[in-house]
Amino acid sequence: MKTKFTILFLVSFSFVLLLNSCNTKRRAKGREDEIIIVADSTEYMQLKDVLKQTFGKIIYTPQPEKLFKIKRKSINSLEEIKRKKNIVIVAPINSGSYTSQYLNKVLDSNVKELVKKDSVYVINKYDLWAKNQLVMILTSPNIDTLKNRIVQKKDELLYYFTDFSNKRIAQGLYNPKFEQKDIEAKLLSKYGWIIYIQADYKLAMERPEDNFVWLRRGVNSDMERWVFVHWLDDATPEFLNKDSIAAERDKMTEKYYRTSDDKAYVIHYDDYKITKEVNFNGRYAIMTQGLWRFNDNSGGGPFVNYTFYDEDTKRIYMLDASIFAPKYLKKSIIQQVDVLLHSFKTEKEIKPERKKEILEELEN
């Protein structure tokens, strides 16, 4: 069983800007799912399709929704968009375009030499002009090489923005004022793990005999969120394959995700399902993202699932989040529950002072 995963590394280079930035930067603004592309119009037309394929990747919820919408701006408009959350500045290093001239002014000479040798094509700068901002430079010796680099590395390029977007959302999501520490303490004490529980989530179900816990938000509303944690004791990493994961998930949802009259239950279906190896909080995991439906076709929606092996406890953990919101676009909602799943920690991963603080809730 392979237990390796790819971690993206980005070499930090000197990135000199002509414009002075204030020590007290304001927060980045704008839509979470918008990327501003700074490029000359002629070069943009040559790169437009590959940029859309990279950053405008479509997911199905089941409606087709783009992960990011891109909007082009001229380098002359830089001042007006400097506080946007997501910015890509793209041009060949020596094309002579206005954007290329800008890059030649702001990039360190050593970096420019590496670009000309095709050793570097992407440079990321965080919090450049605003807090919680990602500015990405994409550049190569010429337009064809640049286009090929974007195509070859599209997954990595998209990852930078989705990962940073998740971190921004996490900052707003994890608020101690709206945290149900009493439920978190109960889960930690009984089962040896914790997940952040917002104030409006309910502990809908505990089934210790099946190692299954269900958290639910918006019960019987037009925007429900379902999160379950399920684990297998005395397990091995060999379980981590898409067929075993799909079968176990369907087993749990058929048993516990049922309609009020008990006539229908949740299953997944393979249309648009994506299964891939990912890094989940430093662990090798299998991520499954796709669509669920009731077996009588009376409803459905998107789900995301992370399954991994924990060496310390010899457990397979399955973390799963589903959305039922038929009247709404669901891309941003599934991103929020995805971030929530990433708050999961086993007992060993919790710092002693944090663990003590949580368990004190049981004494109150």
| Alpha carbon 239 to chain centroid, angstroms | 24
Please state, in angstroms and rounded to a whole number, the distance separating the CA atoms of residues 323 and 301. 6
Please state, in angstroms and rounded to a whole number, the distance separating the CA atoms of residues 36 and 88. 6
What is the model's pLDDT at position 345?
A: 96
What is the model's pLDDT at position 270?
A: 85
Sign of the dihedral defined by the CA atoms of residues 190, 177, 303, 136, in that order: negative
What is the model's pLDDT at position 23?
A: 57
The pair phi, psi for residue 177, each rounded to 5°, is -65, -30
Please state, in angstroms and rounded to a whole number, the distance separating the CA atoms of residues 161 and 68. 9
Q: pLDDT digits over 261-288, tens only?
A: 999 999 998 888 999 999 999 999 999 9
The pair phi, psi for residue 71, each rounded to 5°, is -135, 125
Please state, in angstroms and rounded to a whole number, the distance separating the CA atoms of residues 220 and 206. 19
- Are the C-beta atoms of residues 299 and 326 closer than 8 Å to each other? yes
Domains of the chain: 34-173 (no CATH), 176-363 (3.40.1000.10)
Return the SS3 of 110: helix
The pTM (predicted TM-score) of the whole model is 0.87
Please state, in angstroms and rounded to a whole number, the distance separating the CA atoms of residues 201 and 225. 9
Tokens of 257: 């995700």
Higher pLDDT, 3 or 56: 56
What is the model's pLDDT at position 172?
A: 85
Tokens of 53: 């394929």
The pair phi, psi for residue 14, each rounded to 5°, is -65, 130
Whether pLDDT at 12 is above 70: no
Give burial (CB, 10 Å; 0-12/13-18/19+) of 42.
exposed
What is the model's pLDDT at position 4?
A: 38
Please state, in angstroms and rounded to a whole number, the distance separating the CA atoms of residues 156 and 356. 39
Tokens of 109: 């000479």
What is the model's pLDDT at position 16?
A: 46
Tokens of 159: 């990852």
Q: pLDDT digits over 218-250, tens only?
A: 998 999 999 999 999 999 999 999 999 999 999
* Cα separation values, 98 from 149, 223, 351, Å: 21, 47, 51
Return the SS3 of 279: strand
Whether pLDDT at 184 is above 70: yes
What is the model's pLDDT at position 301?
A: 95
Q: pLDDT digits over 198-223, tens only?
A: 999 999 999 999 999 999 999 989 99
* Cα separation values, 67 from 44, 124, 131, Å: 20, 20, 22
